[in-house]
């Protein structure tokens, strides 16, 4: 490795272009990425190859990929300082994935819970890509010799598989891969659905009132927060059997840096109406700088395409080193 990348540990973060990320993605992870990029050697990517396990319109995929790439840039990530790429523009990912397929046991792949869930959900299209998706994910991670990968609960099993494949191949052939670990950075807020606060906020939720998209207009954000599910008690405090209020407090805390105790004091004697209005205002303020930057970037197609080309070139140079060794 060149001395520049050798100094810092490598972190890989990929986002699928399957719909606009939510407030949950932002507060849980994205918000900390610019800071993470200062402390680590970071690679960020739009994982467009992963999103075609489900039938998709080429036109939609292209515009969503551009949107997600613009979102990455709008988070304050610099294409010069970081490597920000589109997965399909770095062919080494797919090339390594085939080799890793040959070192992944059928039983290991068949155990993946996400495959089972998605095979039920898309029963009319249970394709081989859906089955071998975790091996492509392992290739994404291992090709850059990543030390760390920020993963949610739903991807932990896939990271485990990447570790198993890396360990197995290292055992056979010497030190081919860095064995990756989950990234435990500054814990972001865990944001739940606004309509069913017992489950995580998700962009694929059929009820659009349950999530706030990072690109929702301020009016829409305010409306969604005002219609968030609460309870009949009418008092703002963090407690058992108050999942709706706990969720709103968690969001308000993440946006204002106030502790739960401070929030309880602030809304002492006030009702849920006042509280929701304050949460809505805090969310709109939190996302305002990101939104202004996104609107500027999305209208500069040339900047996006030249940043993509630069990212692909930087990523491919690094990926090629691993691939040729393998």
Sequence length of the chain is: 326
Structural domain spans, the chain: 3-188+300-325, 208-293
* Overall fold of domain 208-293: Tyrosyl-Transfer RNA Synthetase (1.10.240)
* pLDDT classification of 129: cutoffs 50, 70, 90: confident
Burial class from Cβ neighbours inside 10 Å (0-12, 13-18, 19+) for residue 37 reads buried
CA–centroid distance for 264 within its chain = 31
The pLDDT value recorded for residue 151 is 81
Mean pLDDT, residues 262-267 taken together: 96
Asked whether residue 6 carries a pLDDT value surpassing 60, the answer given is no
- For domain 3-188+300-325, give the CATH number: 3.40.50.620
CA–centroid distance for 26 within its chain = 8
Rounded to two decimals, what is the model's pTM? 0.91
Asked whether residue 185 carries a pLDDT value surpassing 80, the answer given is no
The pLDDT value recorded for residue 187 is 62
Annotated catalytic residues are 118, 200, 203
Cβ of 114: how many Cβ atoms within 10 Å? 14
Q: How far apart are CA 171 and CA 180, in angstroms?
A: 15
3-state secondary structure 162-184: HHHHHHHHHHHHCCCCCCCEECC
Q: How far apart are CA 252 and CA 284, in angstroms?
A: 11
* Mean pLDDT, all residues of the chain: 92
Phi-psi domain of 10 (left: phi exceeds 0; alpha: psi -120 through 50; beta: other): beta
Q: Where are the beta strands (DSSP E) in the chain?
A: 10-15, 41-46, 83-86, 148-149, 181-182
pLDDT tens per residue, range 26-53: 998 899 899 999 999 999 999 999 998 8
pLDDT tens per residue, range 227-244: 999 999 999 999 989 999
Q: How far apart are CA 196 and CA 243, in angstroms?
A: 9
Asked whether residue 1 carries a pLDDT value surpassing 50, the answer given is no
């Amino acid at each position: 490795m060149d001395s520049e990348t050798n100094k810092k540990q490598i972190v890989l973060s990929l986002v699928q272009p399957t719909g606009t990320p939510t407030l949950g993605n932002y507060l849980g992870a994205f918000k900390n990425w610019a800071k993470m990029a200062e402390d680590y050697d970071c690679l960020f990517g739009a994982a467009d190859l992963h999103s075609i396990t489900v039938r998709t319109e080429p036109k939609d995929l292209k515009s969503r990929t551009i949107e997600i790439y613009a979102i990455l840039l709008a988070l304050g990530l610099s294409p010069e300082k970081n490597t920000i790429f589109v997965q399909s523009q770095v062919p080494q990912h797919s090339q390594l994935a085939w080799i890793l397929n040959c070192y992944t046991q059928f039983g290991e792949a068949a155990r993946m819970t996400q495959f089972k869930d998605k095979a039920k959900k898309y029963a009319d299209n249970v394709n081989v890509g859906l089955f071998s998706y975790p091996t492509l994910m392992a290739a994404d991670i291992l090709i850059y010799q990543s030390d760390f990968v920020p993963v949610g609960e739903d991807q932990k099993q896939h990271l485990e598989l990447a570790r198993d494949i890396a360990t197995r191949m290292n055992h056979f052939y010497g030190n081919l891969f860095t064995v990756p670990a989950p990234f435990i950075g500054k814990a972001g807020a865990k944001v739940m659905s606004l309509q069913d606060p017992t489950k995580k906020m998700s962009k694929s939720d059929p009820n659009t009132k349950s999530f706030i998209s990072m690109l929702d207009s301020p009016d829409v954000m305010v409306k969604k927060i005002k219609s968030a599910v609460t309870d009949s008690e009418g008092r703002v405090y963090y407690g058992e059997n108050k999942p709706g209020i706990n969720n709103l407090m968690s969001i308000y805390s993440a946006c204002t840096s106030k502790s739960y105790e401070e929030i309880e004091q602030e809304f002492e004697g006030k009702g849920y109406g006042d509280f929701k209005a304050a949460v809505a205002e805090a969310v709109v303020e939190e996302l305002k700088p990101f939104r202004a930057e996104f609107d500027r970037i999305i209208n500069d197609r040339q900047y996006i395409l030249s940043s993509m080309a630069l990212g692909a070139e930087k990523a491919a140079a690094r990926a090629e080193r691993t691939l040729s060794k393998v």
